Amino acid sequence: MAIAMIVLGIMWCAAAMAAAWKGSQLARIPHDRGLQIVTTCTVLVLAALTAQLVVALPGTHFPRQTPVLIEFILLNFFFVLLLGLLRTTGGRFDISRRPFLADLGLAIAAGAILVITFVITDPSSSSANYGDYTEASGPAGVLVFHLVGNLFMAYATACGAYLAWTAARHALAHTRKGLRVAAVGLAIACLGNHVPRVVAETGRLTIDAPILPATATWTPGLLAAGVALFFLGVGYPGARTAIVKIRLWVQAKRRYQELRPLWEILYREFPTIALLPGRSPRRDWFTVRRMRMRYYRRVIECRDGLVCLSPYMSVSVLSTHTPAEQAALVRVAIERRADATAPTHPTIIAPPQEPGMEGDTRAIIALSRAL
């Protein structure tokens, strides 16, 4: 029981993270049709797993049978949307409505059989329960209930695995990896959970003995692995983008702080260079939002301040001067300005060694470190 709860918890967490991630993307791009379908799919899976979690939680007074029915029906329509989305991915796929309507018809038929079986079967008469899958006991109605549910899941996961793997051929590199991982996850769920359960339940109904023994014991682990891989594949492109964004944010944050010594000196001498209101060092340290914008503005402010200070340099700055030597010249220039020394011919302070903004930024950061 404890292992089953852990497995279910892992699946629920994976579904919750995927739903939250896709929901945040949809909030930024609300009119993306494909993203709408993907988000709906993840929410349906989360709802289905939540229903299963309600069944498994100890001490709950919620009827144990109803959430299992809800879970199967939600997953049916999840796979209808998923298969429809995968069929419209890539130029070689069928974009007609016939496959979608066929899948929808199968889902509705399976759902109707589940509801009818659920209504006419009373599992309590033999101490069985819809929430406790088993191939070894229980009335025929409960076995039929799980047989129909797993049969549709086997069909849906098999089709999903094939379509996801095929769609990967026409996708971009990072999306291709995600689709293939998702396809492997669906294949594991199909061959490791749904197909064995269909075989076991068929044997129980026909010859009164499960053909595959103990499927209730070893299939949940494979199902959890398949679900985890599926959501890993779905979330891989977005996670890869998030990692790149985090790396760029960390780089901008580090350089932003490295520029502060130079910026403080220049801002004290030339307050008009500030494009944003000045902040205390502590508040500056905890700044999180719009980091790259703040970093580039600080680079511009530092360069503007150096241009304002350049007429007070005692000697022209050469490319051979080290950052430490330039820092000493900057201190002398600040003293000359404080002494009201007449400006001389301006020079370039912190001349870049490489063309482009990156070279200019590196030269300014090197000077700031020397200060």
What distance in Å separates the CA atoms of residue 25 and residue 18, rounded to the nearest whole number?
A: 11
The tokens describing 114, both together, are: 């589940």
Structure tokens at 36: 């709408």
The distance of Cα 93 from the centroid of its chain, to the nearest Å, equals: 26
Contact assessment for residue 179 and residue 220, using Cβ atoms and an 8 Å cutoff: no
Smallest CA-to-CA distance from 236 within 189, 292, 188, 183 is with: 183
At residue 282, the pLDDT reads 76
* Model pTM score: 0.64
Other CB atoms within 10 A of residue 139 CB: 15
- Measured CA to CA, the distance from residue 126 to residue 100 in angstroms comes to 40
Which residues of the chain fall below pLDDT 70? 1-5, 7, 33-34, 55-65, 67, 89-96, 122-138, 278, 342, 345
Query: How does DSSP classify residue 92?
Result: T
Tell me the residue length of the chain. Answer: 371
* Cβ partners under 8 Å of residue 327, min gap 6: 367, 370, 371
Residues 6+ apart with CB under 8 A from 356: none
Over residues 63-75, the pLDDT tens digits come to 556 767 777 888 8
What's the pLDDT at 25?
80
